[in-house]
Amino acid sequence: MLRKLQNTCRQLLLEGKVDVVIGYGQADSESPTHPVFITDAKDVKKLVWNDKCLINLVTYLKRPEIKSLGKSAIVAKGCDERAIVVLEKESQLERDSVFVIGMACAGVGQPLLPKCKVCDAHMPQVADIIIGSVENPSVDADTRYAELKSFLKKSPEERHKHWVKECRRCLKCYACRQTCPMCYCERCIVDVNQPQYIDSSASTKGNFAWHITRAFHLAGRCVGCDECTRVCPVGIDLRLLNMSIAKSAEQNFEFRAGVDPDAKPIIGSYSEQDREDFIR
Amino acid sequence: MSDEKEQFEPKIIAYVCNWCTYLGADLAGTNRLEYPANVRIVRLPCTGRIDFNLMVKAFEAGADSVLVSGCHPGDCHYTTGNFHARRRWILFRSLLDTMGIDVDRIHFTWISAAEGKKWQEVVTDITESTRKLGPYTAYQRVCGES
């Protein structure tokens, strides 16, 4: 697979089809992988592909400094690719401006990441080229949201206590925002101070409001790549928040972000039949 | 103690739409329909404008309950604002539930400009139910922490 990946990238760069390849690099086989941006066909040897390729590289596509390099090719797993679908839907990138190298992937991480255990996107769907082959398992919604389900078994008071405890530890470093492929606002609401919606200090109050905001601004958009949780320096499990909205979206609107390229985004559209049993 | 509880007057913030619920509340006033003074009304152009951050802000500011109200589906002054809002509320409630925020303290209603009576009933009911729930100390404690 690696040979084919490198050859594909070399060819793309030599033929001038793309100006930069965004892929994974690695200092040595023991180290974690890191993103590499290859502009010269001579450097394609720097590309690696293994089960340490955790990063969702799609987040770099939205960065102006990457856009300024020209047309890019990106190495994407089936799960990462969903972010491309959403970005395209939201007019953040032109599908033609990026060449997607889809990698068949049966899961990454040692041990396997939680998202990989319930992944049904082993094979990319919308990639321009797919490297490798692996069977795509089918996963039902119960399995997908099993972790959330067990968390919801706690009483509301316990859940509240859990999040207060987590929010006390939050440093407000905004790594969750920076790494998120879906967070592309030039000016994040948390940086707006007229009016100041969210207390910008790392107080429990400000952190609480921030985590509600972060999760809800991703409603119907979060593709569940779990990068926010992976990069969190204090290890807050933000997946539960993302999952709760994703589950609600799937239950109420039969919608999963990035899964169906033809589906209408749920925020920004509506149905007259939406449920309103909670509205008096 | 029981005395203290009886004295508890809940603070309720109501975010209402300019075209229906605000006029409904106004009608309640002109009809001399009495409703609890616990409700503080904030008028916004449309339920579609009612950002979830406003609801969070209300709790941060010490509200014990929040009411969000607008035009009935199909009656929106801007045609579809309340449809969009409704969809967001469905998702927002599930998020709040996961965070352990008391969803019984967030109320959603449709009240038209002709439903002064409904406004009176809704506000009375919410005041009573919030009085039973007591002050929202769990969230207020969060806000007190530095």
Is residue B73 within 8 angstroms of chain A, CB to CB?
A: yes
Is residue A255 within 8 angstroms of chain B, CB to CB?
A: no
* Contact call for residues A167 and A207 (beta carbons, < 8 A): yes
Residue pLDDT, tens place only, A218-272:
999 999 999 999 999 999 999 999 999 999 999 999 999 999 989 989 998 999 9
Q: What are phi and psi of B6, to 5 degrees?
A: -65, -30
CA-nearest of B120, B2, B9 to B62 is: B9
* Range 176-195 of A in CB contact (< 8 A) with B: 189
Euclidean distance between CA atoms A154 and A204, whole angstroms: 21
- The first and second tokens of residue B69, run together, are 């109200």
Is residue B104 within 8 angstroms of chain A, CB to CB?
A: no
Chain B neighbors of A247, CB-CB under 8 A: 94
* pLDDT value of residue B5: 53
Q: At what angle do helices A204-217 and A239-253 cross, to 10 degrees?
A: 40
Say how many residues make up chain A.
Answer: 280
Euclidean distance between CA atoms A171 and A203, whole angstroms: 9
Give the start-to-end residue ranges of the domains of chain B. Answer: 2-137
* pLDDT value of residue A199: 86
Q: What is the pTM of this model?
A: 0.91
Mean pLDDT for chain B overall: 91
Residue pLDDT, tens place only, A4-48:
999 999 999 999 999 999 999 999 988 999 999 999 999 999 999
Using a pLDDT cut of 90, give the percent of chain A over it. 83
Confidence of residue B143 (pLDDT cuts 50, 70, 90): confident
Residue pLDDT, tens place only, A59-108:
999 998 999 999 999 999 999 999 999 999 999 999 999 999 999 999 99
Residue pLDDT, tens place only, A122-141:
999 999 999 999 988 899 99
Is domain B2-137 annotated with CATH 3.40.50?
yes
* Range 136-165 of A in CB contact (< 8 A) with B: 148, 151-152, 156-164
